[in-house]
Amino acid sequence: MEQSHYSTCIEACKHCADACDMCAAACLREDDVKMMARCISLDMDCAQLCRLAASVMARGGEAAQAVCSACAEVCDMCAEECANHPMQHCQECAAACRECAVECRRMGGMALGAPGYGVPAPH
């Protein structure tokens, strides 16, 4: 698949990684940092996986769909955790993670021939 097909997902991954980094940094400044430990950990994992996914897609790597599928799962986990916290940075991160998960599922589905993902479904 051409790299241009990945552009929307690459941008969503980059945006999500930045949102996760900002959220983790802001969580570290919260009064009860210990309460934010899982959020910080998932933010860091999600940011790293989003950057990996963007890099693999930018190179047109053959593992792009598999990495995007894994990225979507981690984005879901991070979004769920961030949504539990009322802080604006957590809510913004949750939204970015949800958006990224949608785009990564779209890319992951392309390899599977899922309907609506650019490859006709098998009959």
Residue with tokens 């809510």: 91
Cβ–Cβ under 8 Å, residues 98 and 79: yes
Q: Could you give the 3-state DSSP secondary structure of residue 15?
A: helix
Rounded Cα distance between 12 and 104, Å, is 8
Q: Would you give per-residue pLDDT tens digits along the chain (123 residues)?
A: 455 678 999 999 999 999 999 999 999 999 999 999 999 999 999 999 999 999 999 999 999 999 999 999 999 999 999 999 999 999 999 999 999 999 999 987 764 444 433 333 333
